[in-house]
Amino acid sequence: MLHRYDLGDRVSAEDSVILRAALENHQNATDKIGCGVSHFSVRSADFGTRCFWVNRTDGTTEKFSISASIRGS
């Protein structure tokens, strides 16, 4: 799913449903969600890799590893 998007793209509503479900399984879900999720986007992260970002309703962002959510860690 990640590689269907270019850097800076907003994730589609359909894919966001899957990401929201995965995010709820993340061990730091409460911190990642914060005040609430506005949408997801794709941006660069550590070492130039791309990843999903949680864009919160207050305008803050947090990177989000779907792999960590699947592993539950």
pLDDT (tens digit per residue) in 11-61: 999 999 999 999 998 888 999 999 999 999 999 987 878 999 999 999 999
pLDDT at 7: 94
Nearest-Å Rg of the Cα atoms of the chain is 11
CATH fold of the domain at 2-64: Nuclear Transport Factor 2; Chain: A, (3.10.450)
- Residue spans of the domains in the chain: they are 2-64
pLDDT at 65: 80
The answer to whether 63 and 51 are in contact (CB under 8 A) is yes
State the Cα–Cα distance between residues 58 and 48, nearest whole angstrom. Answer: 26
pLDDT at 20: 94
pLDDT at 72: 55
Answer yes or no: is pLDDT of 73 > 70. no
pTM: 0.88
The answer to whether 61 and 44 are in contact (CB under 8 A) is no
Please report which helix (H) or strand (E) contains residue 51, including its range: strand 50-56
